[in-house]
Amino acid sequence: MTTHPNESDERTERTDEHDDAESGEPTAADEEGAAAAADDEPEIVDGRTIEHLLTDHERDIAATAKGTDATAAKRPTLDLPRLELGRRDFMKAGAVAGAMGSLAGCTSILADEDGEDDGGAAASGDHTVPPGEHDEYYGFLSGGHTGEIRVVGLPSMRELMRIPVFQAESARGFGHDARTSELLEEAGGYTWGDTHHPRVSQTDNDYDGRWLFVNDKANGRMARVDLKYFETDAITNVPNCQGVHGACMQLPDTQLVFGVGEFRVPMPNDGRDVDDPDEYGSVLTAIDPETMDIEWQVQVDGNMDNGDGGKEGRWFFATGYNSEEGVTEAEMTRSDRDYVKAFDIPAIWDAVENGDYEEISGVPVVDGRKESSLNQGDRPIVRYVATPKSPHGISVTPDGKYAIASGKLDPSCTVIGVEEIAEVDDPQDAILGQPRIGMGPLHTAYDDRGHAYTTCFIDSVVVKWDYEEAVEAEAGSEEPVIERHDVHYNPGHLIAAESYTASPQGDYLISLNKLSKDRFLPVGPIHPENDQLFYIGDDDAGMQLIKDKPSYPEPHDASVVHKDKIEPAKTWDPDDYELDFVEEGDESFERVDENTVEIEMWARRNEFAFPEVELREGDEVTIRISNVETTSDVIHSLAIPEYDINLALAPQDTREVTFTADEPGVFWAYCAYFCSALHLEMRSRILVQPDE
């Protein structure tokens, strides 16, 4: 039942059966040319379009987009330049075509390309990373109710960095300088958040390494991390919605970021309808990834949960629970069915443009509830697919053919056809398979060989299964199941390397287990979680448990990105921020008026521009400070004790802080980053003369 990536397998044969492509398979020479040119500037060498691969409906959408400039700007979904095949665009077309299951051999093309990258740690059979060697992948883990993102390396599972997102954090000075503290303040002033689903931006259904997006389940927000600097650079406060649970995107090019609203609340939640749950609502929120502005929301029935975008750009899928619209656990779990919601993104754009929305809290809210008139015609904006009890995770297969939802309170997964969802009259007919997986199936990840891997919370296993076989098999059959591997214990999410792209790597998988029990040295009543790394690259040998990694509560989900797709800056580029850089020699101290002081200064190894700063009690003081170092890793900080300030300054970075000098005395500001042998002597004496 297991298949080898280099062998023709049953899945490929089945793909062939479904094949409706007319022609145009690339030759091996074409593939090599495309791969070699992949890093070059996009260049149109061939006017072929892939329009023949689209359904009639998709062709209509593309035509509409072409015809309306304003719409096209807001609708990068199937924008036409991408429909013309250049050398680079060939890659896009391959992904899109693969997503539709309509270009024979496409999946194996991608697999071959992956083969080169997989070579390193995986091929050697040794999953260690000796001192001084680099990991193969970045793992971006959410930090759950720490409010942060964590960066780990795979396969070492070493934590490389933390990125504070929704909380102030002193080592990186996040929330200590003016820019980041304003960011947190404007996003509601909360001191924490609950990050769940980190997703890295994609171009052509592959990671582009530009941004990472993550939700705040607690306070209904969405944040963006700039992967050039590994720093949070935007937070959007989402109205009409308490908890943004899923954080996902429209593919293939991250045209929109989606916040999947969970808790049903009054809209707006300002004291109205407090006692009337019938009036509560839950919304999907579409956010522009560039501006982080909210474009629109769609109100739906029931609570929503997780989501994932179809590879082809039209559909977005979200699971949900509480179709009963109850307010207690008993009420919420009464029904045997809940819904997967399939959002037709172009149709929603049309509704917004047609004015078919209500503006609530300044946002256009489109009515996507089952009974909405927008769902009654032949082009409903939301299709409701009834699936067994409280489907939890949902993810689209790399080939784009299926959205697979996990049952949570039902032992099955539900395989929904992406192409079919657009074509069937009754959404239930889009259900193509429903294998029995195990107790408490929560989330599903993919390799590059047609396998799905599903966590079962109650069984404490990861189940490997064949999703094409599930389409062939009877509903409720266990036949597609290839292997069950124990995890320790009670897994929530899992993630395979590049599982969310059209071309997963197929080598590593992390199971994010909520309980660790006895797996680590005891550290008191608050246990770490246990993120277990598996090697999944050898179908004959089966899943291999490589590492237990204790994790501070509570990593919730992750994305795993190949190292070649992230290109962080080593030092700051002053052009990337608004503040003026302070060069050595340009330092200044200015008393602007009676009680206002403006200081511009720099830091370099062993000294601050001013060894001494004299203030008067009550002064309003603004300090702008640049790290003039150009050598990477020579970081300084400006710690101002008693005034509760610590500005971290990477090379070429400039930060600003304003404080009131309300405590008289002598305060030795110092550098908290150990920077040289004279680090201890690096300081500035702040004299605050008493007001008498």
- Measured from the CB atom, is 119 or 611 closer to a second copy? 611
Stretch that binds a second copy, among 52-60, 141-149, 287-295, 342-350 (CB under 8 A): 141-149
Q: Is 280 left (phi over 0), alpha (psi -120 to 50) or beta?
A: beta
Site for a second copy in 472-501 (CB under 8 A): 488, 490, 492
Binding to a second copy, residues 276-305 (CB under 8 A): 280, 305
Q: Which of 1, 520, 591, 630 binds a second copy (CB under 8 A)?
A: 520
* One residue of 231, 367, 507, 557 binding a second copy per CB under 8 A: 231
- Which span (114-122, 292-300, 415-423, 673-681) binds a second copy, by CB under 8 A? 673-681
What is the spatial distance between Cα 651 and Cα 22, in angstroms, rounded to a whole number?
56
Contact status, residue 323 vs residue 302, Cβ threshold 8 Å: yes
- From CA 116, how far away is CA 111, in angstroms rounded? 9
- The residue behind tokens 């008393």 is 591
380 is an interface residue for a second copy by CB under 8 A: no
Tokens linked to 201? 């931006």
Report in angstroms how near the CB of residue 264 gets to a second copy at its nearest: 8
CB 343 within 8 A of CB 319: no
Record the tokens describing residue 285, joined without a space. 């929120």
Contact between 646 and a second copy (CB under 8 A)?
Answer: yes
How many angstroms separate the CA atoms of 301 and 281, rounded? 7
Among 105, 550, 574, 618, binds a second copy (CB under 8 A): 550
Q: Which is nearer to a second copy, 145 or 314 (CB)?
A: 145
Establish if 177 lies at the interface with a second copy (CB under 8 A): no
Which letter does DSSP use for residue 234 in this model?
A: E
Task: Pick out residues in 85-124 that bind a second copy (CB under 8 A).
Answer: none
Could you tell me which of 544, 548, 545, 546 has the C-alpha nearest to residue 527?
Answer: 548
Q: Indicate the helix (H) or strand (E) that contains 13.
A: helix 10-18
Beta carbon nearer to a second copy, 66 or 659: 659
CA gap 471, 468 in Å, rounded: 5
Which of 58/136 has CB closer to a second copy?
A: 136
Q: Is 362 in the site for a second copy (CB under 8 A)?
A: no
Question: 136 φ, ψ to 5°?
Answer: -90, -30
Residues 235-264 that bind a second copy (CB under 8 A): 242-243, 263
Distance CA 577, CA 568 (A): 16
Q: What is the contact mask toward a second copy in residues 199 to 228, using x (rule: CB under 8 A)?
A: -------------------xxx------xx
Q: How far is the CB of 191 from a second copy (least distance, A)?
A: 6
Asked if residue 369 binds a second copy (CB under 8 A), the reply is: no
How far is Cα 406 from Cα 389, in angstroms, rounded to an integer?
9
Residue 552 is a binding residue for a second copy (CB under 8 A): yes
How far is residue 512's CA from residue 576's CA, in Å, rounded to a whole number?
36
Strands of the sheet with 282-287, listed across from one edge: 244-249, 257-261, 282-287, 294-300, 363-367, 358-360
Query: Smallest distance from the beta carbon of 1 to a second copy, in angstroms?
Result: 26
Please report whether residue 328 would count as binding a second copy according to CB under 8 A: yes
Residues 572-631 that bind a second copy (CB under 8 A): 572, 606-607, 611-612, 617
658 scored as a contact of a second copy (CB under 8 A): no
Q: Tell me the C-alpha distance between 528 and 549, whole Å.
A: 9
Separation CA 152–CA 532 (nearest Å)? 13
Number of residues engaging a second copy in binding (CB under 8 A): 140
Can residue 360 be called a binding residue for a second copy (CB under 8 A)? no
Q: Which is nearer to a second copy, 218 or 445 (CB)?
A: 218
Least spacing, CB of residue 60 vs a second copy, in Å: 38
